[in-house]
Amino acid sequence: MKTRAATGRRKPVRGVARGEVKVITGNYAVAYAAKLSRVQVVSAYPITPQTSIVEKLSEMCGSGELAAEFIKVESEHSAMSCLVGASLAGVRAFTATSSHGLAYMHEVLHWAAGQRLPIVLVNVNRALGPGWNIWTDQTDSLSQRDTGWAQLYCESNQEALDTVIQAFRIAETVRVPVMVVLDAFSLSHTSEGVEIPPQAAVDRYLPPYRPDVKVDTASPRFFGGLVMPEHYMEHRWLLEESSRRILDVAAAADRDFGRAFGRSYGVVDRYRAEGAELLLMATGTVASTAREVIDAWRKSGRKVGLVRPRLFRPFPAEELRTACRGARKLAVIDRNNSFGSGGIFATETRAALYALPSRSQPEVFGYVAGLGGRDITPDVIDGILTAAWKGRAEPRGTWVGLKP
Amino acid sequence: MAAQILASALFREGRSVQSFPAFGMERRGAPVAAFVRFDDRPIRLRSQIYAPDHIIVLDHHLLHTAAVLTGLKPKGWVIVNCNHQDKRLGVPEDFRLAVVDASGIAAMNRLGSTSIPIVNTAILGAFARATGLVGIDSVVAAIGESVPVKAQENVHAARQAYDFTETL
């Protein structure tokens, strides 16, 4: 079951809730999703290209359309700290940020995950300075890899809306915070048709958050205390165990969402991947443009397909091994870079595929492209496929389109 | 705003749409650009637009100061806000030209000020008239639901521009 960008012409399906389709930006889709999720506390600090998410939410809070506390703060560090407090007090908490804002939150991201708080954060991918750059680049969110937050990457405005709602379900099921990630401008500021599901259907999918433990003056507890070496590992193991569960929980949340709303995406999305000799891996909006290129290659008889991991943490290693079965080559496009190591999706994927017997491991080609918002056009993707189709992989990966 | 409204109008006609600004910073008084894609099937292409089918120019001075026609496909429409059409405004014969005095129409409808009229609803009437790609009624309906104030005046401006657009 799969539906892409809404066109306004929809066939009714039994049991599937349908809503009004509006032409809105990715940022507004996120704001509507937070509202539909009945968030109770929003705390945020503005930063381009995220700002219009929290602007819209503050409007909704101001007009009474959304019954939430909007807490203005002086920094992203404080925004996340407010949400830690709110979530400990047992309410549904949300924020959005980008780039330097996310980097500034870093310390508190660890805290939110370690305290097992089901906060949802939307990060609009933006490059880190210097040089100052407000355009899309995944290095900001991927730098938060080891904080204990789950991460889900989106390809369309509809998927952004749907994923925020799914994120609360996942977060509250495993008590792990979830980051939903979308590309600057190509989603955040791009308008397209988005179906806004009816509130009653979202309420059925996402019942009110009722934690078993919370701050309660009638029953005092101690939160955030010192944990000695004799218990720290077990404390961390519980988070690790829950993180591993996220793969199944996210898949189930997506399946249930599909049944309720008629749209599902998978933890690893595949497009024409069956029998492909060369697979392309891409995330976010690059995957969307890549579908056009895959179709053109298939039309000319070359067996290529697309693999799109939606979930980055936990990394869906087993799902990727299954998805890559039978392919001779895998070309990974990374709109991010870990200095001295290469594209992060490529690095993680190589590690995942190493568990396969060597004869069934596809040759992995790493391509770093589109950093700081440089456009990834169909021609760029075609060039990447051509290079991988004909050539041999560079062990350290290739930077695409570098100017001399 | 004009790109958003045009996308909404096309969406009303059952099209799949995408509209986006030129990615990046905007500065008051500096040239800005915005884009619309539409199709009968879902749009998957998410790279930027380098070879548009048609171009709307809100200020005819830009024809001489900025490379606004770069990439335009042959036979594409150039829809220009201008109160004259001398020498085809310098637009090459490869392109089709439509001219409307959107500034005059906007000023008459009290949109913006007489020195800086707001022309982005009027010009959409000209786009509908010249290209026939979208109905004026859809444009008017999209304006009605999109503009925060002076809905009637904006609708009237679009309809007048539709009536007064001249194609060359």
Over residues B39-98, the pLDDT tens digits come to 999 999 999 999 999 999 999 999 988 889 999 999 999 999 999 999 999 999 999 999
* pLDDT on residue A11: 64
Contact present, A268 and A323 (Cβ < 8 Å) = yes
* CA–CA separation, B60 and B97 (whole Å): 12
* CA–CA separation, A123 and A181 (whole Å): 5
Token pair 């959409």 in the structure block, residue: B124
Tell me which long-range contacts A130-134 makes (C-beta under 8 A, separation of at least 24): A133/A372, A133/A373, A134/A48, A134/A49, A134/A99, A134/A184, A134/A373, A134/B24, A134/B25
Pairing of strands A363-368, A398-399: parallel
Determine, for residues A7 and B24 on separate chains, whether the beta-carbon distance falls below 8 Å.
no
Report the amino acid identity of residue A249: V
Helix (H) or strand (E) holding A293: helix A284-299
- Chain centroid, CA B16 distance in Å: 19
Centre a 10 Å sphere on the Cβ of residue A207 and count the other Cβ atoms it contains. Answer: 10
- A contacts of B25 (beta carbons < 8 Å): 134
* CA–CA separation, B154 and B161 (whole Å): 11
Candidate from A9, A134, A377 with C-beta closest to B24: A134
* pLDDT on residue A15: 83
Q: Which residue, A37, A72, A42, A45, is CA-closest to A57?
A: A42
Q: A329 vs A195, A326, A392, A396, B30, CA distance in Å?
A: 37, 9, 9, 16, 47
Nearest CA in chain A to B13: A8
Candidate from B14, B16, B18 with C-beta closest to A190: B18
DSSP B117: B
Cβ partners under 8 Å of residue A172, min gap 6: A118, A209
Radius of gyration of chain B (CA): 15
The stretches of A305-353 forming alpha helices (DSSP H) are 317-323, 344-353
- A contacts of B17 (beta carbons < 8 Å): 23, 191-193
Determine, for residues B16 and A186 on separate chains, whether the beta-carbon distance falls below 8 Å.
no
* pLDDT on residue B141: 97
* CA–CA separation, A34 and B89 (whole Å): 49
- Say whether the peptide bond before residue B21 is cis (omega within 30 degrees of 0): no
* pLDDT on residue A10: 57
Token pair 């009624």 in the structure block, residue: B137
Centre a 10 Å sphere on the Cβ of residue A121 and count the other Cβ atoms it contains. Answer: 30
Q: Residues in chain B, how many? A: 168
* CA–CA separation, B108 and A269 (whole Å): 54
* CA–CA separation, A202 and B161 (whole Å): 44
**What percent helix, strand, coil does chain A show, rounded to 5?**
40, 20, 40
Q: In what order do the strands lie in the sheet with A268-271?
A: A268-271, A304-309, A278-281, A329-334, A363-368, A398-399
DSSP A201: H
Centre a 10 Å sphere on the Cβ of residue A32 and count the other Cβ atoms it contains. Answer: 24
* pLDDT on residue B23: 75
Low-confidence residues of chain A: pLDDT under 50? 1-9
- Say whether the peptide bond before residue A220 is cis (omega within 30 degrees of 0): no
Candidate from B11, B14, B23 with C-beta closest to A185: B23
- A contacts of B44 (beta carbons < 8 Å): 4-5, 288-289, 291-292
- Say whether the peptide bond before residue A314 is cis (omega within 30 degrees of 0): yes
Cα-flanking dihedrals φ and ψ of residue A364, to 5°? -100, 120
Nearest CA in chain A to B41: A7
* pLDDT on residue A7: 43
* pLDDT on residue B22: 87
Q: Output the furthest CA–CA distance in chain B (Å, rounded).
A: 42
Within a 13 Å sphere around the CA of A273, how many CA atoms are in the beta-carbon half?
Answer: 23
Judged against a pLDDT cut of 90, whether residue B29 lies above it is answered with: no
Judged against a pLDDT cut of 90, whether residue B1 lies above it is answered with: no
> The tokens of B115 are what?
């020195």
- B contacts of A288 (beta carbons < 8 Å): 44-46
Contact present, A141 and A126 (Cβ < 8 Å) = no
* pLDDT on residue B68: 93
* CA–CA separation, A60 and A237 (whole Å): 40
Determine, for residues B44 and A292 on separate chains, whether the beta-carbon distance falls below 8 Å.
yes
Closest Cα in chain A, distance from residue B84 (Å): 34
The torsion defined by the Cα of B85, B91, B92 and B93, in degrees rounded to 10, comes to -40
* CA–CA separation, A90 and A221 (whole Å): 13
**Beta-bridge partner residues of A71:** A43
Report the amino acid identity of residue A185: F
Candidate from A185, A191, A289 with C-beta closest to B4: A191
Pairing of strands B77-81, B96-100: parallel
| pLDDT tens digits, A17-35 | 999 999 999 999 999 999 9
Candidate from A135, A191, A288 with C-beta closest to B46: A288
| pLDDT tens digits, B99-148 | 999 999 999 999 999 889 999 999 999 999 999 999 999 999 999 999 98
Closest Cα in chain A, distance from residue B31 (Å): 18
Cα-flanking dihedrals φ and ψ of residue B80, to 5°? -120, 135
DSSP A116: T
Q: Tell me the angle at which helices A76-88 and A99-114 cross, rounded to the nearest 10 degrees.
A: 30
* CA–CA separation, A235 and A309 (whole Å): 29
Closest Cα in chain B, distance from residue A92 (Å): 32
**Beta-bridge partner residues of B77:** B96
- Chain centroid, CA A67 distance in Å: 26
3-class SS of residue A236? helix
Closest Cα in chain B, distance from residue A261 (Å): 18
The torsion defined by the Cα of B109, B113, B117 and B121, in degrees rounded to 10, comes to -50
* CA–CA separation, A40 and A389 (whole Å): 51
ipTM beyond cut 0.85? yes
Pairing of strands A311-313, A150-153: antiparallel
